[in-house]
Structure 1
Amino acid sequence: MLALPLLWIVVGRLDELLSVLSSLPPALTVDLYGFAVTVTLSEARAMVLGYGRGLARSVAVVVPVLALKLTVFVMLVFALLSRTADANRAVIALVPPGYHDLARGLGSRTRATLFGIYVLQAATAVGTFVISVIFFFLLGYPYFFTLAVVAAILQFVPVIGPSVLLAVLAATHLIAGDPVQAAMVLVAGLVLIAWLPDVLIRPRLARETADLPGSLYFVGVVGGLLTLGPVGIIAGPLAVALAVESAERLSAELNEVSVSEG
């Protein structure tokens, strides 16, 4: 679903994209410490086409499996949403009676955490859009609004995020012979667009939406990324939230036992 707005933007700006590609020089020479490397446009085209063919073959192989998994996932989600009460009773029935409160508490914490993660993601995308509009406007880009929309959409992509857009823009300026603009877009953009919204928005809203301290949310995201990859952005904070809920309930139970014994 996230790819549809990007495809719409590419199709709508196809003429401008083709004009930018046609303005690229036929050859690019990079001179570094006395070593010069020249890359022609035909060589770059052949490399891109070779990579595209390999990617297309890989996608063609995995598409049937992904389609089947997506179908099963949609059917499962629809079944759970349409019969929420029945699913909840079935899960609770598997838990011993003495732990029903714990199961309900973990379920409530899971719903609140997942909702908070999605709200945080949307809020981060909005913040990325606002910063990107100002950033691209000040740098003189004619289509600053479109670039800001692309950056906000890419904020939903785990790990990579808007950095891929900044890398493409920097490479374009470098090929066009403007290394200063390329360095400014890459360095300042990575700080202001790819890094700043995550630092300013996520920790501040984590307490309000997911009922989780910003430090624990950060630990969950980083730990999830290091252990599970992109899925860890959701699984990491969720695991931390469930651990916090379990610790709070265990602490309350132990305090009740100590009070009753005393």
Structure 2
Amino acid sequence: MELEAAVWLSISLIVLYLVWETVSPIISPIIISLTLAYILYPLHERLARRIGNRVSAFTITGILTVLTFLFMIGYALWINDVKESLAYYIDAFFRWLLEFHLPLAIYDLIQRLAEDIPRRFEQYVLGYTYSLPKLSLQAIVMVFAFYGALVNARGLGEEVYSLLPEENRELALKLIRSTERTLHGILRGWLAFSILKGTTVAIGFYIFSISSAGGAIAAGIFTVIFELLPVIGGWMIWLAGAIYLFTSGHVPAALAFSAYSAVFVSPVPDYLLRSKLGKRETGVNSLISLVGIFGGYLAFGIVGIILGPVALSLLGTLLEEWKKTKELRAGTSS
């Protein structure tokens, strides 16, 4: 009997190893597709009531496919320009930052990010520039996984709940709720808002001829990063662009860009939407979110922006349950 159990255990481990080796090369596009499906599911749900579940999923997936195709074209055309512009902006930002007296711990953390972001970005660029078929394959996987996630969202949710163990069902439900709360606050609130601002800044930089297309994209990336930092915000990027236009003698363009950015980037969107986003972020500690986003990025790359906050949120839930269990046992023993 023990021999039979050992054989089945060995077979199971071999199967799990083969499955992991098969899935690991495409794990990033799968996580991205599930993230996008989670963000867009409320839209899909409203649209499905009018045109049906499959038609709604097919329509949204079609739009995502077009955007993915345009992204790949832009990637091929502008990625080197983006890389050079990003390196230039990071260098300029840190030369400016050195003028302030920051605490050593904060400075070391920011400096590590400044060194790591260009390096990782360079790795992504080199990895995909010389292997566009790999990027295309991952894009195809992302699109199909996204469609499957939207179409089968309810079924997948029911399947997850059916697999919860009965003896620890309450703890499992708390972990699921903690994950949902974190994803809701991070993805549909904080991160989505930051990406929207970054896109708006990139469009503004290009329309007002502050930089080339690659430089505008780099400015958008910087805006997203700055929006995720406390105190600092995306307003610093558009302000730098406005100062550049003003000092270059393009005063009307500087005023027009400032008005555009104030209305669509900051502070008007902050005033109108931050209160709503604050309600959505209830229960999500901003410090934990910040550490999770950047720590997750340093550990896992782009997908770590999602995995990091979720992991810390789950850890917090487990610690709370452990404290409650310890207090309950102490009360019972006394």
**TM-score normalised per structure 1:** 0.49
Which protein has the larger Cα radius of gyration, Structure 1 or Structure 2? Answer: 1
**TM-score normalised per structure 2:** 0.40
More strand as a share of residues: 1
